[in-house]
Amino acid sequence: MSLDLAYFPDEAAPAARLARALDARLCPVATHRFPDGEILPRVQAPAGEVTIIYRSLDRPNEKLIELLLATDAWRRAGAGRLILVAPYLCYLRQDVVFAAGEPLSRDAVGGMIGRLVDGLITVQAHLHRTADLTQVFGIPVRNLCPTEPFAAALPTYRAPVVLGPDEESAPWVRAMAERLGGDAGNLKKTRRGDRDVQMALGTPVDVRGRAVVIVDDIASSGQTLARAAEWARGAGAASVDVAVAHALMDEGATERLRRAGARLIVSTAAALAPLLAQAVREMIGRL
Ligand code: R5P
């Protein structure tokens, strides 16, 4: 089956890696920007039955409009099935209405994406109170766990402690600890604001003299990882490395994280192509 892999110019490198892994034709989307800020994407006519759209949805507001317009263009050009590969999936934080007057962002945005494409593949989505993404989006969704790409990207440790910054990270922390041959532990996070978090020990674990790997799904301000790294250093860890699936931090936050004691900051962005390609093949078989 011939496959098209559509991408936007700012993501040419990861799209090319995925296209190579899938032996797909690369189809760039050109976007014109009008003087007032409106955008006009122009897509290539699909050649195959399936078009894969590579679009990681970090900093998503403009990307969502672009996706809305581009998928309309693909449908009008006769596209068959559209599969969105979005390694980072946006707007999952607000997975309940926390306060009166606020939206249920997860369902509002998820429902919109689900009406645009036929299948969705993402990586280590931020799931605190969401049991089933397929139900939220109304289409088949695969949420991939990047345990293997992380194991390949991290150094070889002798019995490390894998530490999660909050209770929700426990399942992934356990999986990484098993894969790296170490122990699992979790901190207890109290968030007081977007850039104000505090850490205390959750599940008991002794990090004294040991290599610690802190794992998390997303770093935004970087405060969570920085406080966790400080905690591990303060508790006597021999070294502290950080493995974060989606490092959305800016340079300043990365520097603050280093100052907090993080030695290596590893994200899997460059090593995801084989995992994504396998998921794409499996999803094509299901659609
Ligand atoms: C929260 O539940 C997530 O797993 C991350 O820990 C959080 O989003 C990180 O945010 P920040 O980097 O702003 O502390």
Domain identity same for 120 and 171: no
Its pTM stands at 0.94
Tell me, yes or no, whether 46 and 140 share the same domain.
yes
Catalytic residue check, 189: yes
164: Cβ below 6 Å to ligand 1? no
- According to DSSP, the β-strands at 30-33 and 265-266 are unpaired
Q: How many distinct structural domains can be found in the chain? A: 2
pLDDT at 48: 83
pLDDT tens-digit map of 119-141: 999 999 998 889 899 999 999 99
Mutate to test the pocket of ligand 1, among 124, 186, 218 (most ligand atoms within 8 A of CB): 218
Q: Say if residue 128 is in the same domain as residue 222.
A: no
What is the 3-state secondary structure of 58-95? CCCHHHHHHHHHHHHHHHHCCCCEEEEEECCCCCCCCC
| pLDDT, position 149 | 93
Let me know whether 115 and 218 are in one domain. Answer: no
Cβ atoms of 248 and 218 within 8 Å: the answer is yes
Whether 80 and 180 map to the same domain: the answer is no
Do residue 39 and residue 110 come from a single domain?
Answer: yes
For residue 222 and ligand 1, the question of a CB distance below 6 A is answered with yes
CATH value at residue 119: 3.40.50.2020
CB burial of residue 189 (10 Å; 0-12, 13-18, 19+): buried
Nearest to 92 by CA among 101, 81, 103, 105: 105
111 and 229 assigned to the same domain: no
| Amino acid letter, residue 148 | E
Give me the half-sphere count of Cα atoms (radius 13 Å) on the Cβ side of residue 53.
32
Query: pLDDT tens track of the chain, all 287 residues?
Result: 789 999 999 999 999 999 999 999 999 999 999 999 999 999 999 988 999 999 999 999 999 999 999 999 999 999 999 999 999 999 999 999 999 999 999 999 999 999 999 999 999 999 888 989 999 999 999 999 999 999 999 999 999 999 999 988 999 999 999 999 999 999 999 999 988 999 988 888 899 999 999 999 999 999 999 999 999 999 999 999 999 999 999 999 999 999 999 999 999 877 999 999 999 999 999 88
DSSP 195: T
The encoded tokens of residue 17 equal 């890696």
Do 166 and 57 belong together in one domain?
no
Residue nearest to atom 3 of ligand 1 (CA): 218
* 71 and 159 housed in the same domain: no
Same domain flag for 167 and 256: yes
Q: Are 154 and 104 members of one domain?
A: no
117 close to ligand 1 (CB < 6 Angstrom): no
Verify that 137 and 174 share a domain, yes or no: no
Catalytic residue (choose from 17, 189, 210, 227) = 189
Question: How far does residue 111's CA lie from ligand 1's centre (Å)?
Answer: 24
β-pairing verdict for 141-144 and 119-123: parallel
Q: Tell whether ligand 1 has an atom less than 6 A from the beta carbon of residue 197.
A: yes
Domain that holds residue 254: 147-268
Tell me, what's the pLDDT at 201? 84
End-to-end CA distance of the chain: 14
Does 218 sit in the ligand 1 pocket, CB within 6 Å? yes
